[in-house]
Amino acid sequence: MGFWNYLIQHVNLNNDVIFWLTEPILILAAMNFCMQLLFWPYLHRLMVPLLLLLSSAVSYVEMMQNIYFDANRLQNIIQTNPGEASAWLTPQFWMWLVMTGLLSAQWYCWSVHISYAQPCGAVYAGAIIASLTLVVAIILLAYGSYISFFRNNKAVNHLIVPTNIIGAALKTAYNTYDAHRPLPRIGLDASHQLHEQKRLLVLVIGETTRAQSWGLNGYQRQTTPELAAMGDNVINFPQVTSCGTATAISLPCCFPICHVSTIKLI
């Protein structure tokens, strides 16, 4: 639903009728292509209800809070704590999850009965080929419209449920594997110099704070009163950008030479 809401706001129906007429068919064919790769016999009994519940939860944050669901968002969920999670688990969220997710999953489990044709492999292969052919045909028919739209809206694919969930899971799995690979050893010729007096440096980092809402940057409402009260003892860098909008992404980027486990979040 977040994807279609985005289209309504950013694509003019009168200027691009072909795009609007073919987009629902394209999404349906692309979804069928992806789902056929996942829903092999008997596996669908677990996968479909699970994806219905996950899609319901993701659609809530997309519709209500305009959040794009990607690997970064999934990493935030994995690394969150009960205090942060409780802010999301509101009565409205549970109602949305029950109405759009739980009831749909329950209906599927009780009402949908599938008899597997023989041979199954040929049937699935035919469905995959037909879906892929339809996707290619639609893109060729309205090539200019689709290239222009997705080139100017590169992140819109993170609003398409449930493919954004599957993509985020695969990306997170790869990132986890990549993070545990041996790190290259560099600077082996460096030497450590001992000093009698130790120096302690304390960094207060607002790595995901929006610069336009930072009081020291001239924001109309003073959001950093204690820092402002320190006067010349505070050095503010207004032209600094962050690598991401989540602590798990931006903080390690601030300290690329440090191992993540050496950074303590307070």
Q: With contact defined as beta carbons under 8 Å apart, do 33 and 133 qualify? A: no
Structure tokens at 61: 């944050």
**For 219-228, what is each residue's pLDDT tens digit?**
888 888 888 8
The domain limits of the chain are: 2-179, 211-262
**pLDDT tens-digit profile of 127-178?**
888 888 998 898 888 888 888 888 888 788 888 888 888 888 888 888 888 8
Contacts of 157 (CB under 8 A, 6+ apart): 150, 163, 164, 167
pLDDT value, residue 37: 76
Residue 8 near residue 19 (C-beta atoms within 8 A): no
What pLDDT score was predicted for residue 185?
81
**For 48-62, 69-83, 194-208, which range has the lowest pLDDT when averaged over its residues?**
194-208
- Residue 215 and residue 228 in contact, taking contact as beta carbons nearer than 8 Å: yes
